[in-house]
Amino acid sequence: MIPIWRLWRGDARVDAIDPGDRGFAYGDGLFETILVHRGVPVWWDAHMARLALGCARLGIPNPHADFLRHQADALIDGRARGVLKLILTRGVGARGYAPPTDALSTVAMCLSDPPPLPPRAGLTLRWCATPLAIQPRLAGIKHLNRLEQVLARAEWSDADPDTSSIHEGLMCDTSGRVVAATSANLFVLRDGRWLTPPVADCGIAGICRGWILDHIQGAGEATLSRADVESADAVILCNAVRGILAVAAVGQRRWAMHEAVRGLRAALALAEPAFAAIESAASESL
């Protein structure tokens, strides 16, 4: 499946992004990346809640979730599996930063293939040199200003034999505290508890991160140093599309598969059948 795009200005379908769109000019908008399973967008309500929070923070009118769901369902059209990306921007404006008062929001939806299955042995991570800036006004929400993640992800290349075995990179903030991977949140197992960095200063409040915090006993937020990560009993990454991914290595540190990781993945698979499907496909690929 090649990516299929649909675009709206307000609630009217349009053929193209206006070059004066503030998403293009300033990254003035938000996005959500949603797993599609058996024709349904998974964790839809949680994605809409985060989008609404982002709209409130940026002062962008919140589009009706019913409209978005109707259009998402029409685009998904019963497909068994895929990824739905939703972009919402403040719409078209004149030159200058002042937000237009009467702009219609732009909505873009893209349906594409699901990512490949994670490696059975777990992910190999590196430490990124690019830091995340501390900016409480933009922390937590999934806005379109993502140059930090782009620069971090550009630190290694799948085409370079020296780095082609790297699956993801961990980022610290400018004070040296661990925050997240470039496109996933991070949990570490320490003293029997799953801990993840807070997202009050930077980082994104991931949907799968939220699920773990809400549903796994003892899971919580904690400030983590690189040493805290490397000395953890186990490490996982998580996001809304790939679920929970075991980490096999960060830099020189290696981990065998930990029973607690299996338990965490099993709990998610039980609660959300979409992730049971990933477990099942991974087993079949043995």
Q: Which residues bind a copy of itself (CB under 8 A)?
A: 3, 5, 7, 15-28, 31, 33, 58-59, 83, 85, 87, 89-90, 94-99, 101, 108, 110, 112, 130-131, 133-135, 137-138, 143-154, 157-159, 174, 182-183
Report the candidate in 185, 172, 167 with the shortest Cα–Cα distance to residue 241: 185
For the residues of 132-167, what is the DSSP string, one character each?
A: BP--TTTSBS-BS--HHHHHHHTTS-TTSTTTTT--
| For a copy of itself, the closer CB: 77 or 137 | 137
What are the structure tokens assigned to 83, written together? 């990824």
Please say which residue, 95 or 227, places its beta carbon nearer to a copy of itself: 95
CB-based contacts of 137: which residues, under 8 Å, 6+ apart? 57
Q: Which amino acid is at 46?
A: A
- Quick one: 159 or 227, whose CB is closer to a copy of itself? 159
Residue written as tokens 């006004």? 137
Q: CB 102 → a copy of itself: shortest distance, Å?
A: 10
Nearer to a copy of itself, 164 or 280 (CB): 164
Q: Which of 281, 268, 286 is nearest to 80 (CA)?
A: 281
- Name the minimum Å distance from CB 270 to a copy of itself: 28
Distance of closest approach, residue 192 Cβ to a copy of itself, in angstroms? 33
* HSE (side-chain half, CA atoms, 13 Å) at 15: 0
CB nearer to a copy of itself: pick between 22 and 258: 22
Shortest distance in whole angstroms from residue 269 CB to a copy of itself:
24
Instruction: Please answer whether residues 83 and 36 qualify as being in contact, where contact means their C-beta atoms are separated by less than 8 angstroms.
Output: yes
Closest approach, Cβ 7 to a copy of itself, in A, equals 6
